[in-house]
Amino acid sequence: MSNLKNILNGWSNYLIGSDQTTNEEAKRRASICSECPIATDGIHTAILPDFSIKEIQGMYCSSEKGGCGCPLSPAVRSKNHNCPKNKW
């Protein structure tokens, strides 16, 4: 899957919803991200709250710390997105 398709898949799953398997995998990924020093608070909470995975709400994977720069709510829900540090 191309990067654009991965991004669109994550945002679609975040905004519209996804199947149970994707939801469970998103929660597993989010628990890892929530403990990661690269995960950083952003402004996304005010604009796009995360109603089902609160532990990463408003956070992003900081490119300044070596991450991908992605907001985590859609990133963890993207089926083929990979953690840039291979944590998931």
Smallest distance from ligand SF4 to CB 83, Å: 3
* Main-chain dihedrals φ then ψ at residue 31, nearest 5 degrees: -65, -35
| 9, 10, 39, 44: residue in contact with ligand SF4 (rule CB under 6 A) | 39
- Residue among 33 and 53 whose Cβ is closer to ligand SF4: 33
Q: How many helices (H) and strands (E) does the chain have?
A: 4, 2
- Among candidate residues 58, 51, 65, 47, the one with its CA nearest the CA of residue 75: 58
Q: Is 38 in the site for ligand SF4 (CB under 6 A)?
A: yes
Residues 44-83 that bind ligand SF4 (CB under 6 A): 61, 67, 83
Q: Are 84 and 13 in contact (CB under 8 A)?
A: no
Residue numbers of the site for ligand SF4 (CB under 6 A)?
32-33, 36, 38-39, 61, 67, 83-85, 87
